[in-house]
Structure formats: C-alpha cells, structure tokens
C-alpha cells in the first residue's frame, strides 16, 4: 500500500501562501518561493561586512533566504545590519541569523 500524500504536497506555493492558518512569515516565504521560482537559501560563511554585503548584492535577486553568522564577522556593527536590511528589502529575501557559538556552553 502506497503511503498517503500530505495535502500540502499537491497544493501550489501561492495557494498555500494565502492560507489564513499560516504565520505571516511562512506566507511571505511561500510567496517569495513562488515569485522567484526558487527556494534557494545561501549560507554566508564570511568574515567581513564588506564581503557579506557584496555577496548579498550579487545573489540577492536569486535567493529567498540569506543565512548569516554574526558571530564570525570580525567587524560586525550597525553598518552590517543596516546594509543587509537595505539589500534584503530591495532584493526581496529574508535574513536568517544562525548563531554559531550561541549553543556552546
């Protein structure tokens, strides 16, 4: 007997994004996936603000999520945050902060 398919596996991203039962962030991500025809998330393992912002600028149109690691950026500051927010807003992608050292005791 074949396993039963979950109802969302046959529902398009735009239709799923409109579901009132979803959190707003989930709906937004599903909309991005639909608009960009991609579900690409890039992990930015870089050590400087300038490289991070340059990377975001270069790939922002093609990604849905940029995963950052503030812990490893040597010159992390308000400039990093504001620059990344501006690029993310303009290029329509989400920023996901992945604390590298936050779970080490």
Residues involved in catalysis: 100
Distance between CA atoms of 72 and 52, rounded to whole angstroms? Answer: 11
CA distances from residue 75 to 24, 38, 50 in whole angstroms, order as listed: 32, 31, 9
3-class secondary-structure state, position 73 = coil
């Amino acid at each position: 007997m074949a396993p039963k398919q979950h109802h969302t596996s046959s529902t398009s991203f735009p239709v799923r994004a409109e579901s009132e039962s979803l959190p707003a962030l989930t709906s937004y991500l599903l909309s991005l996936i639909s608009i960009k025809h991609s579900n690409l998330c890039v992990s930015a393992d870089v050590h400087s603000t300038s490289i991070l912002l340059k990377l975001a600028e270069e790939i922002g149109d093609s990604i849905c999520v940029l995963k950052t690691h503030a812990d490893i950026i040597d010159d992390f500051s308000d400039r990093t945050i504001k620059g990344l927010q501006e690029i993310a807003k303009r290029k329509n992608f989400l920023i996901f902060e992945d604390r590298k050292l936050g779970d080490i005791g």
